[in-house]
């Protein structure tokens, strides 16, 4: 049985269609931040491995602008290795209190070293040490081994800045497709998709059947 949903205002009116998708995303993101107290920037990142096996996990969106959507990771992790060898990827942000979802498809590119350095400096010190201590996605013989590594590195960097590991950086997903989904009564959901050719082409809009 369909869940009854109170209308929240149709965003697919003709007046809305010319808006830039990043402006639309920014407005929704501010609503999500106000409505969701924990991790409104949580998003699914889907990748494909060398064997064609897809993989998905939740990460945190750390920045976005007209260039794309940015998250950070260990480059030697499964998702890091997947993206370095097969940069086509997809993102999903689902904001249940808003009954909204955004789906993004595009190509992942490494952020600059300056961007990665700046974000790494903004992280809590424990997270900085953890980036050195964890061989992300690789087998861990015991939790004690990881904790001992953290203690060792904490002593090593005591009294000085923790540098960014060379294997730790970020990806910017440069989109060629962004879909905005809005839940509606009787599952007659509203779907508006923006598409473009390449990374700098003009955006085109279309409504999709639910």
Interatomic CA distance for residues 103 and 29, integer angstroms: 13
Quick check: 106 and 39 in contact, CB under 8 A?
no
Q: Of the residues 100, 187, 191, 204, which is catalytic?
A: 187
- The verdict on whether 187 is a catalytic residue reads yes
Please report how many Cα atoms fall inside a 13 Å half-sphere around the Cα of residue 8, on the Cβ side: 16
Three-state secondary structure string covering the chain: CCCCCCCCCCCCCCCCCCCCHHHHHHHHHHHHHHHCCCCCCEEEEEEECCCCCEEEEEEECCEEECCEEEEEEECCCHHHHHHHHCCEEEEEEEEHHHCEEEEEEEEEEECCHHHHHHHHHHCCHHHHHHHHHCCCCCCCCCHHHHHHHHHHHHHHCCCCCCCCCCCEEEEEEEEEEEEEEECCHHHCCEEEEEECCCCCCCCEEEEECC
The residues annotated with a catalytic role in the active site are: 187
């Amino acid at each position: 049985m369909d869940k009854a949903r109170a209308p929240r205002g149709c965003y697919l009116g003709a007046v809305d269609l010319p808006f830039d998708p990043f402006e639309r995303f920014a407005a929704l993101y501010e609503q999500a931040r106000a409505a969701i107290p924990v991790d409104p920037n949580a998003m699914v990142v889907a990748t494909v491995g060398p064997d064609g096996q897809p993989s998905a996990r939740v990460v945190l969106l750390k920045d976005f602008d007209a260039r794309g959507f940015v998250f950070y990771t260990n480059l030697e992790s499964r998702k890091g290795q997947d993206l370095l060898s097969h940069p086509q990827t997809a993102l999903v942000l689902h904001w249940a209190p808003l009954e909204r979802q955004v789906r993004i498809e595009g190509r992942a590119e490494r952020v600059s070293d300056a961007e990665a350095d700046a974000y790494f400096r903004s992280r809590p010190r424990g997270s900085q040490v953890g980036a050195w201590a964890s061989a992300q996605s690789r087998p861990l013989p015991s939790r004690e081994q990881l904790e001992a590594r953290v203690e060792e590195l904490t002593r090593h960097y005591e009294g000085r800045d923790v540098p960014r590991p060379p294997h730790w950086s970020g990806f910017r997903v440069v989109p060629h497709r962004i879909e905005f989904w809005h839940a509606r009564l009787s599952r007659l959901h509203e779907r508006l998709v923006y598409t473009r050719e390449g990374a700098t082409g003009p955006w085109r809009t279309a409504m999709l059947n639910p």
